[in-house]
Structure 1
Amino acid sequence: MTSVLHPQTTAPNGTYTFASRPRPVQHRSNREPVAENDGQIIYGNIMYDRRVVRGNTHAQQILPVTAQPDPVEVQKELEARRRALARKRAKEQFRPRTPSAVEGRMHVDVQTELYLEELSERVGNTDIECQTDAFMDKPATPLFIPMKSGKDVATQIEDGELFDFDLEVRPVLEVLVGKTVEQSLLEVMEEEELARLRAQQQAFQELRNAELVEVQRLEEQERRHRQEKGRRIAQQRQALEKEKETVEKIAARVFSQHYLADLLPSVYTTLRDHGYFYDPVERDIETGFLPWLMAEVTDTLEKRYSARTVLDMLIYDVVNKRQEMFQQV
């Protein structure tokens, strides 16, 4: 909504006055300017007016009515507007559209909903404008001065009425000197007491060190006695174990001797019967000489048998030949 704003006027006494005269409102578009008699045209919009402060008003920069817009801001607005138009054109270009109608036909808008709705004319809109007052600068805050309270009174004091130095300084000096002497005595007594405490502490420390040395000596002696006792106990335990082991060995030896007294003869007899104990000469004859002798005898017998066979064949041949000769004769 656009309206025409007039500069604010100030009376000679510094108060604010409104200088606009009542006039009828003309029907015009939102962006149509209104010409004044003096030819000066001032655009105003309550939503975009710089004089309308939004948010915190602390440390706000007050702009006059006739202030010129910032060129940088104007350039930014123009750039943003151009980018918005470019995006809108791109969307319109890439948006899918209905293909054009064939020759002899035309597109008609129809309702495709399930329930038909009656189309009517749009309701007319009317623009109404209003005039806003010019923005008043905040006056300077006056200095705060608290209100005076109470009453102012006065009195007269003559010489010697309040303080006589020669008379009043004596008790003060007595107190100061007495306190100083008392503090000195207390410090001396404290130092002597600290010295006695240090001497007593030194004596106690020496006695404690001597007792600690004696305790350490006794602990070391007890430790040596304990080690010696443990070593003696270990030696005695080892001696008892060796003695027990010796007794067990002697008992086992005696038992084995009694047990093996009758066992050895029977074992030897059994082993001898099974051939585990033998005469070396006899075993040598049996394993070495007799097999050789048998082999030689067998070889000799085979040769003798072969000779007899050959002799028998010769005799047989001679007898056959003689018989044939006798038969021929």
Structure 2
Amino acid sequence: MTSLLPQKDLMGGGSGGGGSTGGTYTFSSRPRVLRGHKKYRGEEAPAAEETTHYGNIMYDRRVVRGSTYSQQIFPLSAHADPVEYQQQQEAQRRALAKKRARDHARPRTPEPVEGRKHIDVQTEIYLEEITDRIEEIDVSCQTDAFLDRPPTPLFIPAKSGADVATQIEEGELFDFDIEVKPMLEVLVGKTIEQALLEVMEEEELANLRAQQYEFEELRNVELAEVQRLEERERRLREEKERRKQQQKEVLLKEKETAEKVAARAFAQQYLADLIPSVFSNLRDSGYFYDLIERDIETGFIPWLMSEVERTLEKSILGRIVLDQLIREVVENRLQSFHQVRSEDTSN
């Protein structure tokens, strides 16, 4: 394998921008002085060109995004962030408005006469330190002194001569069969070592799994024994609580039975003299009666009275009809008598 390398590329490239014909292309820019900055003492600052502001391109006024009808142009010298710039402007407007309102609301004194002036005087009872003055601190920064500018050379000789190249034959710099042996030894050794480590790790993991299995079996046995003892203790506790509850219920029933017997005896003793008087009062009030007598009073007597009333109504109705007939007969006879009498008188 033969390669031709240009001499200037092996030495780090030329001083200008470009490359040699037939070689690898390289480029390097010449160093430049910052704008508006003097490098040497006694040198005039270069002319100030257009100021370049570095910031987020999303807030660059030359980039148009969205609608162009209502564009808000923010000055680049104020702030790179328009939201923060708006907040600052709003805060300044609020501060000015508060200051104007405070000055307007502050009571004012008349203007001083000619030859006099107003001064601030503290009229409080106790002297107080005035802390309205803002503390000021002077801070300075030491910078490096300007360097002396080196003298400009009077003559710069032109470049002469030809570029030099080096011929490299195959096998002069690198022999693969020889150079690969140490790397192969290292790779094979590392591979074998890693394989042995993995085998040992697998054996160790198998031993750990066996120990873990034995430990889990022992723990399961212990847990089963603990659960059995806890279940036995629970059964004994529940049996004890059940016996206590049964005993409480027996005592409560005995107490209730004794109270019932005592109440029954007291009631019998209290009602011994009360029953005769109560029955006599109830009998006098009509709560105790003879069934046959009550049946006659509620059933037979009302029926008998209704039948008697019906019979009397029939007899009265017959009398009324008879009286009406008699009246009609009498009226007819009286009318016929008057008629006969009138005929007699006319004759």
* TM-score normalized by the length of structure 2: 0.32
Structure with higher RCO (Cα < 8 A, 6+ apart): 2
